[in-house]
Amino acid sequence: MELVEQQALINELKNDLLPQKFGIRGKIWTFLLLIIIAVGLYAYYLQLRDGLVVTGMGDYVSWGIYISNFVFLVAVSLVGSLITAVLYLVNVKWRAPLTRIAEVIAVAAIMFAGLIIIVDMGRPERMFNLFIYGRVQSPILWDVMVVMTYMTISLLLLYFPLLPGMAYCRDHMTDIPKWQHKMYKILALRWRGTKAQFDKVHKAIRILAVMIIPVALSIHTVTSWLFATTFRAGWDSTNFGPYFVSGAFMVGAAAVIAGMYVFSKAYKNYDKYITKDHFDKMGKLLVMLSLVYLYFNINEYIVPAYKMKGMEAVHLKELVFGHYAGMFWFAQIGGMILPLILLLFKKMRTPGPIFIIALIVIVAAWVKRFLIVIPTMLHPFIPMQEVQEKWMHYSPTWQEIAIMSASLAGTLLVMTIFVRFFPILSIWEIAEERGVDMEKLNQSIDEK
């Protein structure tokens, strides 16, 4: 490709992919998210004022949908390491339009995963005691440290590849407020697009991609140890680490597919870059991840079901045939078996059908985390006796539902704000995928 053609392609990418002002649908969407967050903040104010008594949690179920939501958001955040790091290191070229979508999802999810833990605390001001008096032997301390580490690396992995994009915004977006132009100028760090600068960005991405993989595996493994290091029925399992990680990769991939569909439909010309071929390849990836997750689910349930000993038998019967049977079978069939079968057919790997499948996988993944946390706590080794009826069951209150919904809305709002002000598709990475030699194209800048 001649240099003139390369420059023309870069200009076309800038025209298509630089951030745009929201239309009426974007404004309505943002307003709805803000309403959900406002209701959640009011519910949290009531919780701070009155204590955790406003929740449905008690002596037996001390972890409710807050912790379920935490595990879910941590799972979703692993997509950053899957798409950005793994596919980058194995040099998969078609990942270019998807990397930033994956990283934004990862950063937004891990931010609110950390916040929901603070919400779950009855006295959030005592959070600092964890660092002052925390026990090194405690998986809770490990989890806090690995969440903070993963968030830091994810932010850097989002920021460094964004430098050229912010420079494009600085230089080519003229009809914007002064504060917005100043923001781009500060964040772009004097980016000029020289060969030396691109070399440094590539090197930084390689280093961060290598670093984030073990941290990503650690974050959900350590989260699983919060449960697996106990003797409770349903949690006492050495399978929990890979079981959690495989499930996280699956729901993360589904989240990226959902994001791909929404952005390709919401913005003009985005379907030129997020093509049917991308949906097809992500569908195949989701099939592979479904198989891996199905394998660990078989290990998680078949072995205890074969032995059927003590409280494990009670727990399994409650899941498979009892009070939680509907949720259990929805999570198993909708979250694994259905996508595995449907996505074997090419027609199901087209944008519309795969978007619906991805949404089902995401909802089923949240239900799965609920089933991991709640039913086990209702089956203690010491039988419940001479206690209030309400303590023997768990039903989340409207305050819990409002706060949980606000955390999900906040995750979506972070993504929405990002899309409004920054390119959600990486212009320079797509250009490189299409044959543009960024170093050669910018060599003349070095010589000036």
> Could you report the per-residue pLDDT of 431-447, keeping only the tens digit for each?
877 777 666 666 654 55
| Greater pLDDT, 310 or 189 | 189
pLDDT at 1: 61
pLDDT at 412: 95
User: What would you measure as the largest C-alpha separation in the chain, in angstroms?
Assistant: 83
Map out the domains of the chain as residue ranges.
Answer: 1-229+398-448, 231-250+277-386
Phi-psi region of 191 (alpha: psi -120 to 50; beta: other; left: phi over 0): beta
Q: How confident is the model at residue 407 (pLDDT cuts 50, 70, 90)?
A: very high
Residue 28 has pLDDT above 90, yes or no: yes
**pLDDT tens figures, 81-114:** 777 788 888 888 888 888 899 999 999 999 999 8
Q: How confident is the model at residue 234 (pLDDT cuts 50, 70, 90)?
A: confident
Q: Which of 397, 324, 404 is nearest to 367 (CA)?
A: 324
Angle, in degrees to the nearest 10, between helices 351-377 and 195-228: 40
pLDDT at 27: 92
Instruction: Please give the average per-residue pLDDT across 386-412, as a whole number.
Output: 86
Which pTM value belongs to this model? 0.91
Contact 357, 348 (CB under 8 A): yes
Cα dihedral value 186, 188, 193, 198, nearest 10: 130
pLDDT at 224: 87
**pLDDT tens figures, 54-73:** 888 877 788 889 999 999 99
- % the chain with pLDDT above 90: 37
| Greater pLDDT, 270 or 360 | 360
